Amino acid sequence: MNTLCIRLPLCLLILASALFACQPEHSPSPSSRPNIVLIIADDIGYSDLGCYGAEIHTPNLDRLAQNGLRFRTFYNMAKCNPTRSSLITGRYLGNERAISFVPLLRQAGYSAIMSGKEHFDKWVPQHAYFAPTFENSFTFWATTEYFVPPSGKFERPFFLNGKQIEAEEIEADILPKYKTDFITDYALRWLEEVMQRDQPFFLLLPYHAAHYPLQARPEDIAKYRGTYLKGWEAVRAERFERMKALGLIDSTTRLSPPEGNTNKFRGASYRGWEEIRKKWPTYYPWNSMRPEEQDEKDLEMAVFAAMIDRMDQNIGRVVQRLEAAGELDNTLILFFTDNGSCPFDSNVDFDIPPGPAESYRCLSPPWANVGNTPFRLYKQNGHEGGARTHFIAHWPGGIQPGQITAQPAHVVDLFPTFLELAGITYPPTSNGQPTLPLQGHSLLPIFKGEQRPEPEFFLSGHTERFRMYRRGPWKIVRQNGEAWELYHMQHDPTELNNLAGQQPEKLQEMVQAYEAYQQATRTELGMAD
């Protein structure tokens, strides 16, 4: 797989070459170690950014992409908690011997601050959680509302450096209080402090946007109201064509049919409105709805777009502060989303439209299908719609601008990447016991424009019911514990031609390879068969 390069004007190419020539070696000296800013979004589809084909305004992310590197194929773990678990430990699965990379960075002289969502699988040890490892942290666990609810009490609490705080104690620079904004407020306060020190820093910024509930500031919603009255089929087709023009997918890629993109394995979280809930998981044509229903769906997607827009505005605040401090050139900024777009029915009250603090609504599956253009299925699935995310890497001091790479990568690759950037050797022991080996591989060769030896395999899908296992161009995946499907990802990236029946030998080879990995993992972790 080759790295693709977008052609730039000659003057920019000359400047990019000069910057690239100055990048650090694989074992950088303390003085050359870059700052690292890792930004994570939540439940945003592959095509939901402007630089990945969307009509949603994301000028700050677009700038990072155009002046950096975009990945065509970057895998997550298809759901919030397993993705974060693999990120922080560098493991697909682990136990109490797993460790976080954050203390290693701090021991090597990095300041470490974070603000945003925390959510791990049960196997992640407490010593890898955020409050014990970051010097400053503002956290919440999983889902919470965006505006302070009318009751004044959030669904789940917030924590400042491990201590629970109430809604009225949250410091916010913009009123009314909105989560995406005040997450950034805390990050910027601490960023101001660490930039005064003569040492590199690591900032983790895991936003909650655009996970349900669909709540956004009215001025942001107004930007998009009416944009989506053309319907989900038209919006999806326009994104598909833009993605091909951008070079993010091949011209021969086929758009997956929406009819097969149902959400039949995740039931409603609440009762009531049974007729609406019965229809919720399915796809239906836009023109099958009455004009007033179309207007409701336009509002729904406008709120979702507004949430992404607001997140991008806040990313811009961080980038502008780094630039003003003269830190941008030596800061690696990474952005990805924890899983594909989410079609779950966690709607609480269909009588309250999405947007305000009083509402608690979710994105309809046909709109989530637009977000995952051109792929199939959604969050939790090991199919590409759930498991593949956009990924942007921006580092003027180390990455040539204007690149798109076809080399695949995975969230487990970030841990070893950070160690190599900081010149850290992974410790053989921690807390008096042997550490688990990392399962990812550094992305620095790709950042440098080189060909990275492709990892032996990639893993995704939420639990064994939706597992995917990719080895080279071949991939096996299943839905809800059903029979394995087999795809050749180079020829069929949107998984439209299941080869399980045509190539039973290859299917068996892939299944055996996955089962061998499972057995080796159980042995490594001391798990009973």
In this predicted model, what pLDDT tens digit does every residue of 39-60 receive, in sequence order? 999 999 999 999 999 999 999 9
DSSP for residue 142: S
Task: Note the pLDDT tens digit of each residue in 179-212.
Answer: 999 999 999 999 999 999 999 999 999 999 999 9
% of the chain exceeding 70 in pLDDT:
94
Please confirm, yes or no, whether 362 is among the known catalytic residues. Answer: no
| Bond preceding residue 210 cis, omega within 30 of 0 | yes
Strand partners, 331: 35
119 is a domain residue = yes
One domain, residues 403 and 471: no
CB atoms near residue 74 (< 10 Å): 25
How far, in Å, CA of 422 to CA of 397, rounded?
15
Apex 206 CA angle, 174 and 28, nearest 5: 120
- Asked whether residue 459 is assigned to any structural domain, the reply reads no
Query: Are residue 488 and residue 340 in the same domain, yes or no?
Result: no
pLDDT for the residue 529: 65
Region 467-484 average pLDDT: 96
Residue 240 lies in a domain: yes
Whether the CA torsion 249, 374, 204, 91 is positive or negative: it is: negative
Q: Which residues pair with 4 in a beta bridge?
A: 404
Which of the two residues, 270 and 386, has the higher pLDDT score? 386
Tell me the residue range of the domain where 269 lies.
3-450
Residue type (1 letter), 459: L
Q: Which of 134-143, 268-277, 304-313 has the lowest mean pLDDT?
A: 268-277
pLDDT at 270: 83
Average pLDDT over residues 298-311: 98
CATH number of the domain to which 110 belongs: 3.40.720.10
Report, as an integer, the average pLDDT of 265-280.
85
Last residue of a domain, one of 390, 418, 450: 450
Q: Are 190 and 136 in contact (CB under 8 A)?
A: yes
pLDDT at 14: 31
CB 384 within 8 A of CB 487: no
The answer to whether residues 426 and 494 belong to one domain is no
Count CA atoms within 13 Å of residue 11 on its CB side: 0
Q: Is residue 52 part of a domain?
A: yes
Say if residue 33 is in the same domain as residue 181: yes
Same domain, 481 and 514: yes
Residue-wise pLDDT tens digits, 433-454: 999 999 999 999 999 999 999 9
Q: What is the DSSP string of 356-401?
A: STT------HHHHHHHTTTS---TT-SSHHHHEEEEEEE-TTTS-S
* pLDDT for 3: 40
The domain boundary residue, chosen from 398, 423, 450? 450
* 19 — pLDDT class (breaks 50, 70, 90): very low
pLDDT at 29: 41
Can you give the pTM of this predicted structure?
A: 0.93
C-alpha span between 140 and 118 (Å, rounded): 6
How many domains does the structure of the chain reveal? 2
Determine how β-strand 69-75 pairs with β-strand 403-405: parallel
Q: How far apart are CA 315 and CA 137, in angstroms?
A: 18
Distance CA 86, CA 457 (A): 15
| Backbone phi and psi for residue 113, each to the nearest 5 degrees, phi listed first | -135, 150
Q: Which of 51, 57, 119, 362 is catalytic?
A: 119
Task: Please determine, for residue 17, whether its predicted confidence score (pLDDT) is greater than 90.
Answer: no
Q: Return d(Cα 337, Cα 389) in angstroms, integer.
A: 6
d(CA 206, CA 196): 23
**Would 443 be classed as within a structural domain?**
yes
Average pLDDT, the chain: 92
461 occurs within a structural domain: no
Predicted confidence (pLDDT) per residue in 202-256, tens digit: 999 999 999 999 999 999 999 999 999 999 999 999 999 999 999 999 999 999 9
| One domain for residues 439 and 479 | no
Q: Is residue 213 part of a domain?
A: yes
Flag whether 332 is in a domain.
Answer: yes
Lowest-confidence region among 4-8, 122-126, 494-498 = 4-8
* Arithmetic mean of pLDDT, 128-135: 96
Query: Pick the catalytic residue: 51, 80, 342, 362?
Result: 80
Sign (positive/negative) of CA torsion 343, 346, 350, 354?
Answer: negative
Clarify whether residues 504 and 430 are in a common domain: no
Task: Tell me the DSSP string of 471-523.
Answer: ETTEEEE-STT---EEEETTT-TT-----TTT-HHHHHHHHHHHHHHHHHHHH
For β-strands 111-118 and 429-430, DSSP reports them as: unpaired
Question: In the predicted model, is pLDDT for residue 27 greater than 60?
Answer: no
119 assigned to active site: yes
In this structure, are 255 and 123 located in the same domain? yes
